Amino acid sequence: MSQTFNLPDVGEGLTEAEIVSWKVAPGDTVAVNDVICEIETAKSLVELPVPYAGTVEELVAEEGETIEVGQPLIRIGAAEGAEEPADRPVSGAPPEGASSSSSESQQQGGQERTPTATDDEQAALVGSGPKADAPKARTRTRPTSLDLVEVPGLEPEGVTARTQGLPGGEFAADIVQRASPPVRALAKRLGVAVWELVGSGRNGQITRDDVERRAKQKEAQREAGGVPASGSPGQLGLLYEGPREEKIQVRGVRKATALNVAASASTVPHVSVFKEIDVTRTMELRSALRESQEYQGLSVSPLLFAAKAIIWAARRNPQVNASWHDTHYTLHNYVNLGVAAATPRGLVVPVIHDAHTYNTRGLAAAITALTTDARDGKTTPAQMQGGTVSITSIGSLGLDFGTPILPPGQASIVMLGAVRTKPWVVDGQVVPRQIVTVGGSFDHRLIDGDLAGAFISDIAAVLEQPGLLLD
C-alpha cells in the first residue's frame, strides 16, 4: 500500500514551490523525517522531511519543476515487515496513561509484536494519519447578502488599506476590492476575465450576475462563431491547454542570444540595404554541381554560392570585413565566415575559419559539416568564436528578407532570402526567372550606405553571374 506526500505550504500562504533537488530515488528506503528533497518557495529554500516510512515508489515531480501546494510530490510504499520507527504515529505507542490494549496483549504473553498486531497498527495509522493533505479550497457559488455590510464599522476600508500594498500594485488591489473571493473563483471557473468587467453592484462591486452575464455572452459568441464546443481550450478562455500565464526560465542558448543581440542592438547603429536579383545562372550551376560525382553527399545550396560571393566581395571591399573599436578599427585580411543556424537549442552562429582558403568543394564540405553539427547540438564554443563576417540564410525558413542583428565584434552580416520563380524583365520581355533578395545589416559607424551597397552589389554580381568566380 502506498502513501502520497503532497506538497505542503511550508510558509504562510504559499501557493507553489520549485523542486530544487531530490535527495532520494525510487527504491530507496526512507524513515519518518528523512529529508527527501529541497524546494524553493517564494520565501525560502527548504528541506522537506518525509512523513512516512517505507520505500520510495515514485518521485512525482521533477527537479526544476514548479508544482502547486497540494499536488503530489512523492509516493512511498509501506515498509514491509520493517520495524516501526519509534516516532511513528502508531496506536501501539500511546501517550502516557497507557492504553488497555497494550496491557492486554502483554497478558497474552508479550505478543504485541505479532504480525497481526503490526497489521492493526498500520490500519490504525491509516485512520489517524495525515489525511493526504487534500486541497481545502472550495469554490463559492452563492453571493453573500450585502446588507450585512451595513453594520457600522464593517465598511471595507480595512480591505483597501491592506490590499494597496499587494505586489500586483493598484491593479491587483483594485480587483481584490471590486470582486469578492467567491466571485473571483466563479469567474476563474467560467473563464471570465474579471478585470474586464464593469461592476453593477454597490460601489462598483462586480457581482456574481456580472460574471454569469459575461460568461453567457461569451458562450453566445462562441456558438455564433462555430468554435469547437465543450472542453476545448477556447471555452476555458485560453489559446491552448495550459496555465493562463506560464513563467519559463531563460537559460542556455536563449540566454546567450538575448545578451548578444541586446548588446549589439543597443550599442551598434545598424544600417540595412537590400537588392532583388536574378540568380537563374547560379541555380543552373547548382544543378550541375549537384549531379557531379565530386559533390556527392554535400550540401550544394544557394548559401554555398553566397558564401563564395561574400569572400569575393570582401576582397574588393576590405572595410566590410572589419571590427570597430571606437578609437580605431581592425581590417581582417582573411574571412572567418559565421553561418547562422536555427537549431533545436536556439540560434547558433558557428564559424568557418579562413573560409577564403577553401575551394568551392571544400567550402561545401565545411558548410555541410558545420550545419550538421549545429543541428545535432555538437557545435563547440570554440567553433563559434572569431567570426569576421556572417551570413544568415532565411530563405530556408521561406522568408524573403529581414534585418539581422550583427554578431558581437562584426561589422557585416549578409542576409539571403528564398529563391522564387518570378516574372522578370529580360531584354524587354517578361520571362520567368529565379529571383532572390540579398542584403544585410552593417555597422554604420564604419560602413556607410554606399559601401554597404557596393558590397551587396558585388555579392549580387557574383550570384547573377557565377562565372565571375573564375578569375
Partner 1 sequence: MNSAGEKVQLADPVPVQLLKADGTLVEHPVFSRYVQDLSEQQLLGLYRHMALERRFDAEATSLQRQGQLALWVPALGQEAAQVGTIAALEPTDRVFPTYREHAMALYRGISAEQLMATFRAARHTGWDPHEFNFNGYAIVLASQVLHAAGWAMGIKQDAAAGHLDRDRPEDEIVLTCLGDGASSQGDVHESMVFASSYQLPMLYFIQNNHWAISVPLETQSRAPLAHRAAGYGFEGIRVDGNDVLASYAVAKHMAEQIRGGSGPKLVEAVTYRMGAHTTADDPTKYRTADEVQAWQAKDPVARYRSWLEAEGLLDQAYAEQVDQEAAQLAADLRTAVHSMEPIGLERVFDTVYAEPHRQVETEKAWLKDYEAGFAEDEGQSVG
Chain residues binding partner 1 by CB under 8 A are 5-12, 32-33, 43-51, 86-90, 93-96, 128-130, 133, 137-145, 148-149, 151, 153-154, 182, 185, 188-189
Which long-range contacts (C-beta less than 8 Å, at least 24 apart) are formed by 425-428? Answer: 426/278
State in angstroms the smallest separation of the CB of 247 from partner 1.
17
- Cβ proximity to partner 1: between 45 and 382 the closer is 45
- Identify the active-site residue in 270, 328, 356, 444: 444
Cβ-based neighbour number of residue 24 at 10 Å: 18
Instruction: Give yes or no: 444 in active site.
Output: yes
DSSP category for residue 144: P
What cell numbers appear for 235 in the block?
Answer: 471555452
Q: Please state the closest distance from residue 180 (CB atom) to partner 1, in A.
A: 8
Handedness of CA 121, 123, 127, 133 (dihedral sign): positive
- Do 196 and 213 touch, CB atoms closer than 8 A? no
- The answer to whether the Cα torsion of 261, 264, 265, 266 is positive or negative is positive
Of 8 and 201, which has the nearer Cβ to partner 1?
8
CB of 168 to partner 1, least distance (A): 19
- Least distance to partner 1, CB of residue 149, Å: 8
CB of 4 vs partner 1, minimal distance in Å = 12
Q: What angle do CA 199, 202, 203 make, to 5 degrees?
A: 75
Q: How far is CA 400 from CA 79, 359, 392, in A?
A: 65, 28, 12
Judged by beta carbon, residue 121 or residue 278, the one nearer partner 1 is 121
C-alpha cell at 247: 513563467
Q: Which CB, 23 or 254, lies closer to partner 1? A: 23
Q: CB of 236: closest distance to partner 1 in angstroms?
A: 8
The cell for 410 is: 562584426
Task: Output 238 or 382, the one with its CB closest to partner 1.
Answer: 238
C-alpha radius of gyration, the chain, whole number: 35
Q: Report the C-alpha gap between 310 and 312 in whole angstroms.
A: 5
Q: Which is nearer to partner 1, 106 or 128 (CB)?
A: 128
User: Of 329, 291, 341, 285, which is closest to residue 308 (Cα–Cα)?
Assistant: 285
Question: Rounded to whole angstroms, what are the CA distances from 127 to 87, 118, 132?
Answer: 17, 14, 11
Q: Which residue is it, cell 557545435?
A: 379
Catalytic residues: 444
